[in-house]
Amino acid sequence: MAIMPICHLPAMFGVLNFLIMKRHLALLVFTILSLSNASAQSITVEVLLDSEQFIVGEAINAQVRITNFSGQTLQLGSEDDWLTFALEGGPRKVVSQRSLVPAKGEFSLDSSKKGTRTVNIEPSFDLSRPGRYKLTASVRIPKLNSVVQCEPKSFNIINGTMLWQQEFGLPSDPIKADTAPEFRRYTLLQVTKQKELVLYFRLSEAAGERVQKVFPIGALVSVSTPQGQLDKYNNLHLLYQYSARGFSYLMINPDGVILSRETHELVGGSRPGLRPDDDGRINVSGGVRRYTSTDLPPSTISEATTASAPEAKTPEAGKE
């Protein structure tokens, strides 16, 4: 049997030490990764939506709920991409993303606590086509060097049923005489949500698909037809029936801002309706007005005097 020269022993021990250190380092890395993975598994992410159904262009407010049981206080929200979203589905299956969803804003989340960040994802994705979509949120945890993803949340994008629409033009800008006039469109839509009819307002370009504003107006009686008229300022005056005797009136300006809101009731054979006057203003005639806490501008007349309240006049645009 060959005997290793004594001069070779230090080299041999050096190799053994290197191998032992390498093994310990690998074990240490494995232990750190295991602990990090275990900590990440003790953090959960969930997405909640206000509804399972949205109109094209409507705000989709996603509530991202983070639950921390990692045993550590987490610092979140300091980077633009700490919270990201992915969408799939619809007629094209792949949904184009226009930009990151704005979610930056640093906060601390203690162990055994829950934190929620609410963001509107609609402007950041192309959701102009009806269909069923799946939304996934991912939260990056810098302290644990990990990313936690939620279970996909499904929702539908629909067009709704068009009840009424009207195109209108905006006044030309005197400073920009060579600018082409802008035309927009008011649209009233009907949507069924949880077996209830809901009336929606939409403001869009007269030509093209760009939607500028969409929001729900309120519950709608199925046997009624909303009334819409434009005044000389192109404000939309809307009257719709929300109950057997109750009617709601709104005035909305060309930017989609509600300027006035009133409640009216059917009394005897007198039914509320819209009536233009000779000056191009629109008034509510018939029935009786009921002053409520939802009036806009806020009413100063007490509910006790509503039965004898005079017929309300609608304020002109910009004169509340």
pLDDT tens by residue, 36-46: 444 557 899 99
pLDDT band at 134 (very low <50, low <70, confident <90, very high): very high
Q: Which two tokens stand for residue 200?
A: 């929606």
Whether residue 166 is found in the same domain as residue 268: yes
CA 244: distance to chain centroid? Answer: 31
Whether residue 89 is found in the same domain as residue 127: yes
* Contact indicator for 127, 133 with CB cutoff of 8 Å: yes
Tell me how far CA of residue 227 lies from CA of 91, 112, 300, 320, in angstroms.
34, 53, 27, 22
* Contact indicator for 63, 48 with CB cutoff of 8 Å: yes
Q: Which two tokens stand for residue 103?
A: 């979610």
Listed residue (115, 135, 139) closest to 61, CA to CA: 135
What residue type is assigned to position 188 of the chain? L
List 246's β-bridge partners, or say none. 265
Whether residue 62 is found in the same domain as residue 143: yes
Region 60-84 average pLDDT: 95
| Residue 127: DSSP 8-state | -
Quote the mean pLDDT of the chain.
84
pLDDT band at 7 (very low <50, low <70, confident <90, very high): low
Whether residue 296 is found in the same domain as residue 166: yes
pLDDT band at 30 (very low <50, low <70, confident <90, very high): very low
CA angle 235, 286, 254 (to 5 degrees): 5
Q: How many whole angstroms separate alpha carbon 218 and alpha carbon 74?
A: 41
Q: How many whole angstroms separate alpha carbon 296 and alpha carbon 315?
A: 11
Helix (H, G, I), strand (E, B) or coil at 73: coil
Whether residue 103 is found in the same domain as residue 219: no
- Is the pLDDT score of 222 beyond 50? yes
Q: Who has greater pLDDT, 12 or 36?
A: 12
Structural domain harbouring 248: 160-171+182-308
Count how many domains the chain has.
2
Whether residue 131 is found in the same domain as residue 165: no
* Contact indicator for 74, 42 with CB cutoff of 8 Å: no
What residue type is assigned to position 125 of the chain? F
Question: What pLDDT score does 53 carry?
Answer: 94
Looking at the domain assignment, is residue 317 inside a domain?
A: no
Question: What pLDDT score does 207 carry?
Answer: 83
CATH of the domain at 98: 2.60.40.2970
Residues in CB range of 42: below 8 A, 6 or more apart: 68, 69, 70, 71
Count of Cβ atoms closer than 10 Å to residue 219 Cβ:
16
Among 129-138, 178-187, 279-288, the minimum mean pLDDT is found in 178-187
Region 251-270 average pLDDT: 95
Q: How many whole angstroms separate alpha carbon 212 and alpha carbon 185?
A: 10
- Is the pLDDT score of 105 beyond 60? yes
Listed residue (56, 68, 152) closest to 113, CA to CA: 68
Q: Which two tokens stand for residue 127?
A: 């959701």
Question: What pLDDT score does 306 carry?
Answer: 46
Whether residue 164 is found in the same domain as residue 304: yes
Question: What pLDDT score does 41 carry?
Answer: 73
* pTM of structure: 0.76
Region 10-35 average pLDDT: 50
Whether residue 123 is found in the same domain as residue 164: no
List 83's β-bridge partners, or say none. 139
- Is the pLDDT score of 292 beyond 70? yes
Whether residue 297 is found in the same domain as residue 225: yes
User: For the segment 160-176, what is each residue's pLDDT rounded down to a tens digit?
Assistant: 999 999 999 998 777 76
Whether residue 235 is found in the same domain as residue 125: no
Helices and strands: H and E segment counts in the chain? 1, 22
Looking at the domain assignment, is residue 7 inside a domain?
A: no
Q: Who has greater pLDDT, 39 or 241?
A: 241
What residue type is assigned to position 160 of the chain? G
Looking at the domain assignment, is residue 237 inside a domain?
A: yes
